[in-house]
Structure 1
Amino acid sequence: MTETDQNYSQNDHQTPEHHRSIRSFVLRQGHMTAAQQRAIDTLWPQFGIDYQNSPVDLNRRFGRSNPKVLEIGFGMGGATVEIAKRLPGHDFLAIDVHGPGVGNILKLIGEEQVGNIRVMRHDAVEVVENMVADGALDGIHIFFPDPWHKKRHNKRRLVQTPFVAKLLPKLKTGGYIHLATDWEEYAVQMLEVLSGFDSLQNTADGYASTPAYRPETKFEARGKRLGHGVWDLVFKRVK
């Protein structure tokens, strides 16, 4: 199991193949607590962004023109909130489809009084395609996406060349993509995919040290205690 509750993947079985070849999630509802539902009811008008089929003005939504970072698959939101606290000068558009996770991140935003996160509950592929303007992003985070470890399911992985090709135009020159996984074979694939773009440059010799802004999650710490590795990749857009 991954930090993001297996929500994000590359998956095309839910819509006709001619209509969509990439989909970022498998929808699993889970149980919404009363506190999570209350957070949605009270905080969504301030911190939530509804899907629209046209570009969104992120500067207007955040009320400032600071650097913008897209996070795909935030799980229960704990790491996202901590990163936002560590980088108060950045704004974070956090996308997931898991209802309890959306409720929980809003609950944490309220408890921690964090103002630099906006939340969406929608397919991230459609958001990238239709709502994020070219050159709007300074960074992209995808942490612990579903590894789909069975070989016959590898095609469902999110981090593949077609999806990264959709992401790159949204990233400013000088912006970065930060990926993390606890599945070594997926890490190898991620490295191959990102290295295949001439417009991206690896900031490390292979895998990167974990940047100071990314906290170690409880899930990650447990994996390390069990002897599991974690791999970070940080690439910069150079052209």
Structure 2
Amino acid sequence: MTEENTPKDHAKNGRSEESPVTTRRGVRSFVLRQGRMTEGQRKAYERNWPKFGLTREHGMIDPRQVFGRDAMLNLEIGFGMGRSLADMAEAAPEQDFIGVEVHLPGVGALLKEIADRGLENIRIYSIDANDVIDLCLADACLDRVMVFFPDPWHKKRHHKRRLVQQEFVQRLRHKLRVGGILHLATDWENYAEHMMEVMADSEGFANTQIEGGFSPKPEGRPVTKFEQRGERLGHGVWDLLFYRTN
């Protein structure tokens, strides 16, 4: 959703003024960006959202009912244009995936990927991830949470707006089963250091690597176009994998 959309646009996109993208104050999980759906994204949204979309109004979901089976459950917060999430779901059909993204062109793009590839193991929320965590997911229901390349808020005065903070991490912890993985990735070294500090001080988490160590890129994380562009510019990428201990 964009700030310039009219109520008519909201209705066209399956939202109304009474169904805001977020109900929370404080640090949001997203930044609203400008942009409108392409015709292909809009058609994919209209055609596929009723089957693959989830809303706040669904309340606390039972993943077994949503997906029709009991399988490893992954949550990706901020999937962008959705290609990497579609890649992961296609590569692991035995697992289920929930993606969260408020940028409607990205939602439309992922819905198109889902249809084109015939994927059945993805569901989508297009609301603030904080609301998904607090209102829609039961404790200990997730096997893995992924937060890839969140906004780094690179200016020091904006660091308080960064998504990865103690309070947010602890709320994620309760949604992970014991042994479940929190996977963070960034291409900003300062944010990587910030993430490591937060995770090292987070109760109930332990690093999968040596203390203070970043992880080699896991095979299961696709390389995004965003990441490829960063590598061409000489940017590094840092992965952090921590598991819930209690």
CA distance in 1, matches of 2:22, 2:52: 30
Aligned-residue offset at 1:21 = 2.5
TM-score, normalised to structure 2, is 0.87
What is the percentage of aligned positions where both structures have the same residue?
Answer: 50
Aligned-residue offset at 1:198 = 3.3
Q: Which residue of 2 aligns with 1:103?
A: 108
1:168 aligns with one of 168, 173, 179: 173
Where 2:159 maps in the other structure, the secondary structure is helix
Q: Which residue of 1 aligns with 2:162?
A: 157
TM-score, normalised to structure 1, is 0.90
Q: Which residue of 1 aligns with 2:232?
A: 225
Q: Is the 1:176–1:235 Cα contact (8 Å) retained in structure 2?
A: yes
- 2:197 counterpart of 1:195: no
Runs of 4+ in 1 over 2 A off after TM superposition: 19-22
Q: Is the 2:22–2:131 Cα contact (8 Å) retained in structure 1?
A: no
Matches within 5 A, 1:30-179: 30-52=35-57, 54-179=59-184
Q: Is the 2:77–2:147 Cα contact (8 Å) retained in structure 1?
A: yes
Aligned-residue offset at 1:15 = 9.2
Where 1:52 maps in the other structure, the secondary structure is helix
1:23 aligns with one of 22, 28, 32: 28
- 2:186 counterpart of 1:181: yes
Structure 1, 196-205 or 159-168: larger mean CA deviation: 196-205
Q: Is the 1:53–1:130 Cα contact (8 Å) retained in structure 2?
A: no
Aligned-residue offset at 1:57 = 1.3
Structure 1, 80-89 or 118-127: larger mean CA deviation: 80-89
CA distance in 2, matches of 1:53, 1:67: 21
Aligned residues: 224
Aligned-residue offset at 1:199 = 1.1
CA distance in 2, matches of 1:137, 1:92: 10
Q: Is the 1:22–1:163 Cα contact (8 Å) retained in structure 2?
A: no
CA distance in 2, matches of 1:25, 1:222: 22
CA distance in 1, matches of 2:25, 2:82: 28
CA distance in 2, matches of 1:187, 1:148: 12
Q: Is the 2:77–2:100 Cα contact (8 Å) retained in structure 1?
A: yes
Segments of structure 2 that go 5 or more residues without pairing to the other structure are 1-20
Amino acid at match of 2:197: E
Q: Is the 1:29–1:99 Cα contact (8 Å) retained in structure 2?
A: no
CA distance in 2, matches of 1:120, 1:225: 32
Aligned-residue offset at 1:151 = 0.9
Segments of structure 1 that go 5 or more residues without pairing to the other structure are 1-13
Q: Is the 1:71–1:93 Cα contact (8 Å) retained in structure 2?
A: yes
Q: CA RMSD in A?
A: 1.7
Q: Which residue of 2 aligns with 1:6?
A: none
Q: Is the 1:143–1:180 Cα contact (8 Å) retained in structure 2?
A: yes
Q: Which residue of 2 aligns with 1:11?
A: none
Q: Is the 2:148–2:186 Cα contact (8 Å) retained in structure 1?
A: yes
Deviations 1:68-114 (A, max 9, x none): 11110000000000011122221111000001000000000111111
CA distance in 2, matches of 1:78, 1:157: 24
CA distance in 2, matches of 1:124, 1:29: 19
CA distance in 2, matches of 1:83, 1:161: 28
